[in-house]
Amino acid sequence: MAVTNESSGSHELHEIQRAGQSISLYEAPTSLARALDLLGEYGHRARPVAGGTDLLVELDRGARPGVDVLVDLGRIPGLDEIVVDDQSIGLGPLVTHNQVVASEICRTEATPLAQACHEVGSPQLRNRATVAGNIVTASPANDTISALLALGASVELTSASGRRTLPLDQFFTGFRATALNPGELVTRIIVPRLGAHARGVFVKLGLRRAQAISVVHLAAVVEFDGDTVTDSRIAVGSVAPTVILVPEARAALVSRTLGAAEIEAAARAVVDASTPIDDLRAPARYRSDVVGTMARRALGALARGEELATWPDHPPLLWGSGFDGSYPNHGEASIDDGTPVTASVNGRTVTAAGAASSNLLDWLRDEAGLTGVKEGCAEGECGACTVHLDGAAVMACLVPAGRAQGAEVVTIEGLATDDVLHPIQEAFVDCAAVQCGFCTPGLVMASVKLLEEIPDPDRRQVTAALAGNLCRCTGYNAIHAAIQQAGESS
Ligand SMILES: Cc1cc2nc3c(=O)[nH]c(=O)nc-3n(C[C@H](O)[C@H](O)[C@H](O)COP(=O)(O)OP(=O)(O)OC[C@H]3O[C@@H](n4cnc5c(N)ncnc54)[C@H](O)[C@@H]3O)c2cc1C
Ligand code: FES
Ligand code: FES
């Protein structure tokens, strides 16, 4: 729909209706050396892609002028591994938030990081979005940054001329700015293990419980010798141009027991170190007040040993039954807009061009003719575009279409067999869980993965699983009933 500019009388597209930046080449190399060569060859025209959940939105908004080449790291073997030794946990640059959530060692030995990853977006988003992408975007609102700073993490950077390691607090150089040189990649995030004498916690305040950028986030790690605090790091986000460590809070705690007076002094130090601004999420004054409360609650939880009290028993990942967090490798891909992409879609081989400048949602709808998958927002917020990619539920609007080369994709059209509806589709009909129906394909695709993973989910698990699926007709009770009915009958 065009809008009329009243002063000129001309018809103009609204900002969000304009086509985003066009990509002319999508490269998916199978070695780090080749990825570095490509970044060197294309210079400022190229950007690396991990999950694409930040980059695709930025490109859609025209926020990366001059970029027309994507170098997807997703086909380089080994980059999605979590490697553990006696001292640390190493995260490869393709490790997703959901891989961290699913990792027992991350939950117990890097607790604030696991909690921060669990707070990012929605399950579908967390199946693509990576921790490395989160730190490179370097927004002060990015959740894993406070967790990693509190844990004392460092970052390994690799370029064509070599490798270096930086403590994470030296990685951030300003608002959304990092110490990465052009053509340099994050190749590992090294997280010291908490060990037996340290405890950590992450807390976040958003405007709602899921799919919410932080109003404030805070992570605290405290080391003990018996009851005495021997060290502490508290990091706070969304209260300054970068996520900040608060050394004054450490001074208030070290060599003391973690009692009410010490917690109050540390909370005061956190408030004093914060220099928030007013923005659309919260006024500065509110942030200043609430950050103190969050510090008190976080340190109180650590004092009581209750840092994992709210961690769910089985957080839904939307991995279903056949996916373990690592995507299969489909070999090298190099795609311009004339190059056909071949994928298995709903069990059929589909070959279509138009992938270089497209996302998977548009490619499925416009090139493969599968219009069951819907576009509600085109920026990862609504879940209407949920499909299964190599076994995991993802938001198709945030996946570069070239990623489908060689992959297995299932859309809503692939669920029914021989005109017999899938049990979840049946249950949606039985429970009248459909009003206008626009959100329904996405809800069904998410529910299929939930029930494969947790056949008898309780209400909290259903709510958590559907956190990324918005229904503007708001008939959530019937949707819950349908999923529970399908679960009971399976
Ligand atoms: C709907 C929605 C909700 C969100 N909710 C949250 C939230 O609650 N909390 C939060 O913190 N974030 C949130 N985000 C932001 C985003 O999902 C995260 O920052 C995510 O972790 C980014 O990871 P990615 O792999 O998708 O990054 P990408 O988009 O692939 O990359 C991000 C940036 O890093 C660069 N890059 C990627 N990998 C490397 C590498 N190895 N070396 C060098 N550069 C690299 C890319 O070029 C790009 O500039 C949300 C985003 C959306 C769309
Ligand atoms: S989440 Fe993809 S269209 Fe809304
Ligand atoms: S049924 Fe209308 S948007 Fe959900």
Mean pLDDT of the chain: 94
User: Which ligand is closest in space to the CA of residue 122?
Assistant: 1
> What number does the ligand 2 atom closest to the CA of 398 have?
2
Answer whether 270 contacts ligand 2 (Cβ < 6 A). no
Residue 96 φ/ψ, nearest 5 degrees? -85, 165
Answer whether 434 contacts ligand 3 (Cβ < 6 A). yes
Mutate to test the pocket of ligand 2, among 373, 375, 471 (most ligand atoms within 8 A of CB): 375
Flag whether pLDDT at 428 surpasses 70.
yes
Q: What was the pLDDT predicted at 182? A: 96
> What number does the ligand 3 atom closest to the CA of 384 have?
3
The residue nearest atom 43 of ligand 1, judged by CA position, is 185
Q: Residue 201 Cα, ligand 2 centroid: separation in angstroms?
A: 31
**Is the entire prediction scored with pTM above 0.85?**
yes
User: Which ligand is closest in space to the CA of residue 471?
Assistant: 3
Q: Residue 139 Cα, ligand 1 centroid: separation in angstroms?
A: 10
Answer whether 437 contacts ligand 3 (Cβ < 6 A). yes
Chain centroid to Cα 11, Å, comes to 37
Q: Domain 423-489, what fold?
A: DNA polymerase; domain 1 (1.10.150)
Flag whether pLDDT at 5 surpasses 70.
no
Answer whether 436 contacts ligand 3 (Cβ < 6 A). yes
For the ranges 111-115, 135-139, 472-476, the lowest mean pLDDT is seen at 472-476
Answer whether 387 contacts ligand 2 (Cβ < 6 A). no
For the chain, give every domain's residue range. Answer: 82-304, 336-414, 423-489
Q: Residue 397 Cα, ligand 3 centroid: separation in angstroms?
A: 18
Q: Residue 424 Cα, ligand 2 centroid: separation in angstroms?
A: 21
Q: What was the pLDDT predicted at 277? A: 87
pLDDT in tens, 35-53: 999 999 999 999 999 999 9
Answer whether 412 contacts ligand 3 (Cβ < 6 A). no
pLDDT in tens, 67-83: 999 999 999 999 999 99
268's CB contacts (< 8 A; 6+ apart) are: 252, 292
Query: Where would I find the beta strands (DSSP E) of 20-168?
Result: 25-28, 46-49, 69-72, 82-84, 88-91, 154-159, 162-167
328's CB contacts (< 8 A; 6+ apart) are: 390, 407
CATH architecture of 82-304: 2-Layer Sandwich (3.30)
CATH among 3.20.80.10, 3.90.1150.10, 3.10.20.30, 3.10.180.10 for 336-414: 3.10.20.30
What count of Cα atoms within 13 Å lies in the side-chain half-sphere of residue 22? 6
Answer whether 432 contacts ligand 3 (Cβ < 6 A). no
Q: Residue 385 Cα, ligand 3 centroid: separation in angstroms?
A: 13
Q: pLDDT confidence of 12, banded at 50, 70, 90? A: low
365's CB contacts (< 8 A; 6+ apart) are: 371, 373, 375
The residue nearest atom 1 of ligand 2, judged by CA position, is 380
Provide Rg for the chain, Cα atoms: 23
User: Which ligand is closest in space to the CA of residue 202?
Assistant: 1
Flag whether pLDDT at 120 surpasses 70.
yes
Burial of 255 (0-12, 13-18, 19+ CB in 10 A): exposed
